[in-house]
Chain A
Amino acid sequence: MRLFWLEFKRFTTSLAFILYTIVTAVFILLNVWPMIGRGLATPPTSPTAHYELITTTDFHPLKTNALDQLQEAHTDNAYVTYPFGFAKRVTLNAQVQAKVGKLLNQARRIDNRPTLAKTLGHVDQLLGGHSDYAPATLQRFAVRPMTLAEARQDHTLIMRKDRITGAYARLFADIAGIIAAILPTIVIIAYCYIDRRAQVMPTIQAKPMGTLKWLGTQYAASVAGLIIPVIIAALALFGRVTWLYPGVALDYLAFAKAACFWVLPTLMVSTAVGFLSDALFSNFTGFALQIGWWLIVMTIGARQVIGNYGWLLIPRHNTLHNVAYFYAHLSELAINRLGYTILAITLLILTMLLINLQREGKYRGLHIRPAHH
């Protein structure tokens, strides 16, 4: 425990950590603070108002939206696929175009979801995969504005299940996840670099201490430090919500749950990537890998920000609404978070093996830039 506190103190007094704390807290507050208002407790009444988007389970909007888009793409022979999340234009030859046209006509006559998914799945295959017509992503077409009845149902869920704070905590977790997936990697690489710069690595590696204890303590102390600005932002936002909703029954643990169960696994992974890339490259080269992963996840998530969990490192829920979707997919989100916690531990074990090799003098890192041992 003493080693943990020594590491924690050393880590949290570093300039990198202080900068990280400031920029992370400011980033979260800049993005979430303006979204917090008094309006969430007011029930919707206007039948003509334009309500927020939801992901619906209805077959009709899904079919209409999907076939409208496919028709347009077919007419222009300009389809879009998303390999690694980035949009790419696909042009088909006459033979494949004709096949897509035939499938489009077939799809128009379909009146049930599994058959539509199967038919559009064939379109996806003809496009080379990664399109919106793949069965796994077809749900994205089922997004539309809420009706008054749905807005009332959404409001009921916000008041009864979310108890106001839950809705804001989801938005907070969405934004905090974006920054927690990238900045900890930089901070950790910079932190590890201090030891290399001071040329104390041989001394540290020769200490009579197991790698598990050494790395495990360093990792735990880093994660404990890196979550601090997330908690600071959560407290500030919670304070604002309680100020704006006096006398309303709030979920006082909503922000804490969002920080620990939603943001923490993302932060654990990016921290583990920092340690692993330091062990692998001994410098900032590993940051390129994390930034590549982060950008891909961000672009995949950006295709449906109002509720998109799946296997994303940064699960997206960039809305105060779409509450029914959140509760219907809560188990999916839980499996996602558990999966990334396991991945973080796996990356840490991999780092430990590399450090063991270094301590035995069998591995000295892939040096793309000058490294200091």
Chain B
Amino acid sequence: MVYTFGQLTIKEIRANEFLPSLLTIAFCGIIPILFTLHPTTIAQAALPGEMFMPLVAILCFGGIFLPEQVAGVADVLNSKRTQLLTIYLIRLGWYTLLLSLVNTLLILSYQLPTATAVLWFDFLTKALFIGSLTVFSYAAFGSLAAAYLIPTVYFTLCLGYPHLGPLNLMVLMRQQSWTDNWWQLGVAVIFLVVGFRLLRNAAAKS
């Protein structure tokens, strides 16, 4: 039986991403407990998106490579009509959508109409940057540990290391210009393109 792309997406999410997505939503449910939903400044409003959501993104995007970790399964899947790369893209898209939804709800609850667009762009960029770094790390090293280790270390560096310039994830929290996010978005796109090329090459070689 041949599935359409839409059917495949729904089946994939239902089979592999449903429970982790529920866990993600539950994890994000602690945001109102940890952070204020009535911020008075943009720096305060940016805290959950820049401090908490990148860590949620590591958990989500790191997990997109988990289901096919059984030895040999990747090869079997790559011999099928729908390549594993497509499955990864579906998962990446799904988690970007899920995190954007959480970010949107969070920003709407702030009721800061003048900062909505800036916060939304900022939060989306964090998720994409971490997600792309996760994909790139996995593709470059072929290791799940790398997919979790490298983004975590990068996030930790952002907390205290002063020389990351516009690539420091804590943009609005540290009162840097929101336009730094364009740099991060650009790097995220490069990581994604290179990461998926590496994954495609690896699939072709196996």
A-side interface residues toward B, CB under 8 Å?
15-16, 19-20, 23, 27, 30-31, 78, 83-84, 86-89, 91, 175, 178-179, 182-183, 186-187, 190-191, 193, 197-199, 283-285, 287-288, 291-292, 295-296, 298-299, 368-370, 372
- How far does the Cβ of A161 sit from chain B's closest Cβ, in whole Å? 27
- How far does the Cβ of A17 sit from chain B's closest Cβ, in whole Å? 8
Q: Are B67 and A370 interface neighbours, CB within 8 A?
A: yes
Contact residues in A for B16 (Cβ distance below 8 Å): 369-370
- How far does the Cβ of B126 sit from chain A's closest Cβ, in whole Å? 14
Pick the contact of B141: A19, A83, A186 (CB < 8 A): A19
Q: Mark interface residues in B189-206 (1 if CB within 8 Å of A CB, else 0).
A: 000000000000000000
The stretch from B1-9, B111-119, B145-153 touching chain A is: B145-153
Q: Is B23 part of the binding interface, using a Cβ–Cβ cutoff of 8 Å?
A: yes
Extra inter-chain contacts (7) besides given A31-B160, A86-B47, CB under 8 Å: A15-B143, A27-B156, A91-B38, A182-B152, A183-B153, A197-B70, A283-B66
Alpha-carbon distance A91/B143, docked complex (angstroms): 48
Q: Are A16 and B149 interface neighbours, CB within 8 A?
A: yes
Interface set, chain B 73-129, CB cutoff 8 A to A = none
B157: nearest residue on chain A (CB-CB)?
A: A27
B-side interface residues toward A, CB under 8 Å?
16, 19-20, 23, 27, 30, 33-36, 38-40, 44, 47, 51-52, 55, 58-59, 62-63, 66-67, 69-71, 141, 143-146, 148-150, 152-153, 156-157, 159-161
A197: nearest residue on chain B (CB-CB)?
A: B69
Q: For chains A and B in complex, what number of residue pairs have CB atoms within 8 angstroms?
A: 117
Q: Are A23 and B33 interface neighbours, CB within 8 A?
A: no
Given the interface pairs A197-B70, A295-B51, A370-B16, the reply to whether A183 lies near B144 with Cβ below 8 Å is: no
Q: Are B70 and A88 interface neighbours, CB within 8 A?
A: no
A285: nearest residue on chain B (CB-CB)?
A: B23
Alpha-carbon distance A186/B144, docked complex (angstroms): 9
Q: Could you show 21 A-B contacts with beta carbons less than 8 Å apart?
A: A15-B146, A19-B146, A23-B150, A27-B156, A83-B33, A84-B34, A86-B47, A178-B159, A178-B160, A187-B149, A190-B145, A191-B145, A199-B71, A285-B23, A287-B148, A291-B58, A368-B19, A369-B19, A369-B67, A370-B16, A370-B67
B17: nearest residue on chain A (CB-CB)?
A: A369
